[in-house]
Chain A
Amino acid sequence: MIKKILSSNPLIMLIFSAVVLSAPIWLTPLGANYPDLLQKFAIFGIFAIGYNILFGLTGYLSFGHATFLGIGSYTAVWSFKLLTMNILPAIILAMIVSGVFALVIGYLSLRRSGIYFSILTLAFAQMAYSLAYSVFTPITNGETGLQLSQQDPRVLDAMAGIAVTDGIPSTNLFGTLIKSMDGYFGFYVAAVMLIIAFYISLKIFRSPFGMKLRAIKSNQTRMKYTGFNTRPYLLTAFVISGMYAGLAGGLLASIDPLAGAERMQWTASGEVVLMTILGGVGTLIGPMLGATIIKYFENIFSALNDSELHNIFDFLPAGMQEFMVTVVSPFVGEGWHLTLGLVFMIVVIFLPGGIMQGLNNLFGFIKRLFGLGGSSSSAADTVSKGEAS
């Protein structure tokens, strides 16, 4: 009975929402409570959750998902330029346009599987990046990046009689509801989107559709022999994850209305793969954890310098302090990639199931410690496995 309640959708959603919305409180001791980073946590969480629907469920490793993130951003900025500063149309358009691109790229790439699929998506992504960087300069403004200007038409805003007198107007949600996407407002908008995105992902994980995707992962040939045409399911998963990426891109642009081609570079595509693997492929919240950890490293570790390290190791005697600072300093600041690489290696070697596997082992250990019996599954267990019982 308890098991049933613990793994029920409403409870999981309740806990998830509480954790996400209270992030500004529990991230304060970690030095991560500032709007920009919180927004990144939420947005890249969405990106990773969406990516996981493709990679986690079907096992198809796409190396080109940043393309859809970039397309989402460009679409959203164009919506701000041409239609309105309201973020809702921008986000919806971003999802639709990246969905269309995902349909085309997915249709072509999914003719192959395994490494060939990965290479195809990578090729498409590099193509999109190069196009955005140079050929499509009139649409993307190339290296400089697409930006707003005061002279933009903003047709819908003009029709609603919103006159722009001084400076570039800020992105908003229906003008009065949320006047500016700056700071914590931006985070809460992204957080609500994250919760909705998570809910949809939860539903997909626990639906027959999710089951079919998992069947593709475990043995596609057998599935075909039983009479299933797997291609439509794969394509649907690909388009859904592309739209998630588009949503993330649209949100990025809503909070900071600028779109640059580097958002589509292969490193950005690789990043989401890292996030998913680090957190735990195919688990519900693993990818989000991975996204949070990577963004935390990128923003906090990269900004540490020697003087701050001295503060951290202040409690040690002088000699030890010097020693610790010397040892640690190559791993922070510009060396944060090194730390991330090490963490990634450790996780992949010792916890192939990602951080979620580590957490599960920990829960299992605690349960055995209190003699609660090994086989019953807790909420965390269920969430991590995303079982479709």
Chain B
Amino acid sequence: MSKKTPTLDRRGFLKASVATSMAAAAPMFFIQNSYAGSHAKTFRNMPKADAKSVTLGFNVPQTGAYADEGADELRAFKLAVKHLNGEGDGGMMNTFKPSALKGNGVLGKKVEFVTGDTQTKSDAARNSAKRMIEKDGVLMISGGSSSGVAIAVQGLCQEMGTIFMAGLTHSNDTTGKDKRRYGFRHFFNAKMTGSALGPVLKEEMGTERKAYHLTSDYTWGWTQEESIKETTEGLGWKTVKTVKTPVGAGDFSQYITPILNSGADTLILNHYGKDMINSLTQSVQFGLRDKQVNGKNFEIIVPLYSRLMAQGAGKNLQGILGTTNWNWALTDDGSKAFVKSFGKEYGNPPSQAAHTCYVQTLLYANACEVAGTFYPPEVIKALEGFKFDGMGNGATEYRAEDHQCFKDVLVVRGNDKPTSQFDLLKIVKQVPRSAVEYEAKIFGGELGPYKV
């Protein structure tokens, strides 16, 4: 009964072929209609006519460098679901217009949700998104905090035919070269940051500076570096060097020491989350901000800011310039209603990540109401070119060509005289939408089909 060598003899071949044909036939027995074509108008996870509820999936980083943002996003999602189901004070549901939301769930079905941990890793995020789609039957996935993850999940959602409402993702690629028909982004991007920041930099720091970039080594860092470089070089600045750092590095001292002797007088930190807190704190500890180079004060710029990061970086952030999508100190009705309702629920004001996630959830629900169905192609058409107001950013439009929202951008500065532990960012300038707009085709990319 013993076999000499693992070669494929006649019997082995027969056995293998039997196994193969069994496997090929197996789907017939286990899955209904496995070899039949799909019917028109049915779609993945279509809720039954008599279903009482629908499920949404919130995929956020609960561990890793962006965990703080993820936690705040999850709070916002829970609040949005509450408001959609008609519980709580309604928040921005009251200021959002034109709104078709009724406060009784979406299309009369109660909204439920499942959550997942992206771990800020593309693989893990896709696994978790797949689980939500295949096992939990979600109709829409939202969340983010890393553009790498957002792009990976967006690609998956396009294949699976599930709508992806991106949370915090700032890379140009999300709605640029990697844009997808099923992906939508409310957040602004690196290109807009550059356009908004340029004039302020010129005014405050002049036109003769030498910039040194430290950049997170992934899609967001790359595009932000590119956009900021384009802006600053347009002002007449020189770029001394750009250095890529791994995400979640923790210790940045090996990257900071070379800056001291590089002849640069400006440091641009293309970092976010805990990375930015660490790199900024260490830069200040190395005495960069007290230095004089080329007869100018050494300056640090953090193009993408958030209040959560400001909380982490503390005093080091005072006086440093950057941009943000939204800030809780805005005084329009939408922002006030949202801050009030979020504060009542959780005891602290929302971050910009929370804001964008809350808005995205409401926008998806509204699009379903407008379309009168959960059928993704119809929902997508309702979102494309949708113009709205009262969500904290003034008049906003979802551009149909690339699924990017266009709205005002805030240039902010670390507050040197904070009046409370949350009053950390001072709004320097509210840059109007017209100043940050660009042509959709400059980044290339294809949206892809409506029906998959």
Interface residues of B in 51-72 (CB under 8 A from A): 62-63
* B6 in contact with A207 (CB, 8 Å): yes
Nearest-Cβ distance from residue A168 to partner chain B, whole angstroms = 7
- Return the chain A residue nearest B444 by Cβ: A151
Nearest-Cβ distance from residue A326 to partner chain B, whole angstroms = 20
- Of A101-109, A196-204, A316-324, A356-364, the one contacting chain B is A196-204
Q: How far is the CA of A116 from the CA of B403 in the complex (A)?
A: 54
* B122 in contact with A256 (CB, 8 Å): no
* B23 in contact with A260 (CB, 8 Å): no
- Return the chain B residue nearest A194 by Cβ: B23
* Chain B positions within 8 Å of A342 at CB level: none
Q: How far is the CA of A37 from the CA of B135 in the complex (A)?
A: 9
* A192 in contact with B30 (CB, 8 Å): no
* B449 in contact with A145 (CB, 8 Å): no
CB of A9 within 8 Å of the partner chain: yes
Interface residues of B in 421-452 (CB under 8 A from A): 446, 448-449, 452
* B159 in contact with A170 (CB, 8 Å): yes
* Chain B positions within 8 Å of A207 at CB level: 3-6
Question: 1/0 contact trace for B334-370 toward A, CB 8 Å?
Answer: 0000000000000000000000000000000000000
CB of B218 within 8 Å of the partner chain: yes
Q: How far is the CA of A182 from the CA of B181 in the complex (A)?
A: 19
Give the contacting residue for B217; candidates A17, A34, A143, A303; CB below 8 A. Answer: A143
* B131 in contact with A188 (CB, 8 Å): no
* Chain A positions within 8 Å of B5 at CB level: 207-209
* B134 in contact with A36 (CB, 8 Å): yes
* A143 in contact with B218 (CB, 8 Å): yes
Nearest-Cβ distance from residue A387 to partner chain B, whole angstroms = 10
A17-B19, A262-B124 given as contacts; is B115 within 8 A of A147 (CB)? Answer: no
Question: 1/0 contact trace for B2-28 toward A, CB 8 Å?
Answer: 111110000110011001101110110
CB of B155 within 8 Å of the partner chain: yes
Nearest-Cβ distance from residue B148 to partner chain A, whole angstroms = 4
CB of B201 within 8 Å of the partner chain: no
CB of A258 within 8 Å of the partner chain: yes
- Return the chain A residue nearest B137 by Cβ: A34
Give the contacting residue for B134; candidates A34, A149, A170, A262; CB below 8 A. Answer: A34
Nearest-Cβ distance from residue A87 to partner chain B, whole angstroms = 15
- Return the chain B residue nearest A203 by Cβ: B6
A-B contact count (CB 8 A): 152
Q: How far is the CA of A17 from the CA of B18 in the complex (A)?
A: 10
Q: How far is the CA of A36 from the CA of B125 in the complex (A)?
A: 13
CB of A313 within 8 Å of the partner chain: no
CB of A377 within 8 Å of the partner chain: no
Q: How far is the CA of A208 from the CA of B7 in the complex (A)?
A: 12
* Chain A positions within 8 Å of B16 at CB level: 196, 199
Give the contacting residue for A167; candidates B22, B31, B34, B449; CB below 8 A. Answer: B449
* A167 in contact with B2 (CB, 8 Å): no
Question: 1/0 contact trace for B235-249 toward A, CB 8 Å?
Answer: 000000000101100
* B219 in contact with A144 (CB, 8 Å): yes
Nearest-Cβ distance from residue A131 to partner chain B, whole angstroms = 12
Question: 1/0 contact trace for A242-271 toward B, CB 8 Å?
Answer: 000000000000001010101100000000
* A188 in contact with B26 (CB, 8 Å): yes
* Chain B positions within 8 Å of A388 at CB level: 2
* B217 in contact with A389 (CB, 8 Å): no
* A34 in contact with B3 (CB, 8 Å): no
Nearest-Cβ distance from residue B445 to partner chain A, whole angstroms = 8
Nearest-Cβ distance from residue A192 to partner chain B, whole angstroms = 4
Which secondary structure characterizes the binding site on chain A? helix
CB of B395 within 8 Å of the partner chain: no
* B117 in contact with A302 (CB, 8 Å): yes
CB of A233 within 8 Å of the partner chain: no
CB of B123 within 8 Å of the partner chain: yes
* Chain A positions within 8 Å of B159 at CB level: 168, 170, 182
* Chain A positions within 8 Å of B148 at CB level: 143-145
* B31 in contact with A208 (CB, 8 Å): no
Q: How far is the CA of A17 from the CA of B22 in the complex (A)?
A: 9
* A8 in contact with B1 (CB, 8 Å): yes
Nearest-Cβ distance from residue B274 to partner chain A, whole angstroms = 15
Give the contacting residue for A24; candidates B20, B30, B448; CB below 8 A. Answer: B30
Q: How far is the CA of A166 from the CA of B451 in the complex (A)?
A: 10
* Chain A positions within 8 Å of B449 at CB level: 166-167
Q: How far is the CA of A31 from the CA of B22 in the complex (A)?
A: 25
* A262 in contact with B34 (CB, 8 Å): no
Give the contacting residue for B62; candidates A31, A34, A37, A334; CB below 8 A. Answer: A334
* Chain B positions within 8 Å of A213 at CB level: none
- Return the chain B residue nearest A255 by Cβ: B130
Q: How far is the CA of A35 from the CA of B31 in the complex (A)?
A: 12
Give the contacting residue for A199; candidates B12, B134, B151; CB below 8 A. Answer: B12
- Return the chain B residue nearest A38 by Cβ: B134
A9-B3, A134-B244, A260-B123 given as contacts; is B151 within 8 A of A188 (CB)? Answer: no
CB of B158 within 8 Å of the partner chain: yes
* A183 in contact with B130 (CB, 8 Å): no
CB of B390 within 8 Å of the partner chain: no
Interface residues of A in 140-191 (CB under 8 A from B): 142-145, 147-150, 166-168, 170, 182-185, 188, 191
* Chain A positions within 8 Å of B147 at CB level: 144
* B3 in contact with A150 (CB, 8 Å): no
* B115 in contact with A258 (CB, 8 Å): no
Q: How far is the CA of A167 from the CA of B22 in the complex (A)?
A: 33
* Chain B positions within 8 Å of A24 at CB level: 30-31
* A4 in contact with B1 (CB, 8 Å): yes
CB of B126 within 8 Å of the partner chain: yes
Chain A to chain B contacts (Cβ below 8 Å), 15 pairs: A10-B11, A37-B131, A37-B135, A143-B247, A147-B152, A167-B449, A167-B452, A192-B19, A192-B24, A207-B4, A207-B6, A208-B4, A258-B122, A258-B123, A303-B135
| Interface residues of A, Cβ cutoff 8 Å to B | 4, 7-10, 13, 17, 21-22, 24-25, 31, 34-37, 133-134, 137, 142-145, 147-150, 166-168, 170, 182-185, 188, 191-192, 195-196, 199-200, 203-204, 206-209, 256, 258, 260, 262-263, 299, 302-303, 305, 334, 388-389
A-B pairs, top 5 by smallest CB distance, nearest first, are: A143-B218, A167-B448, A203-B6, A166-B449, A192-B23
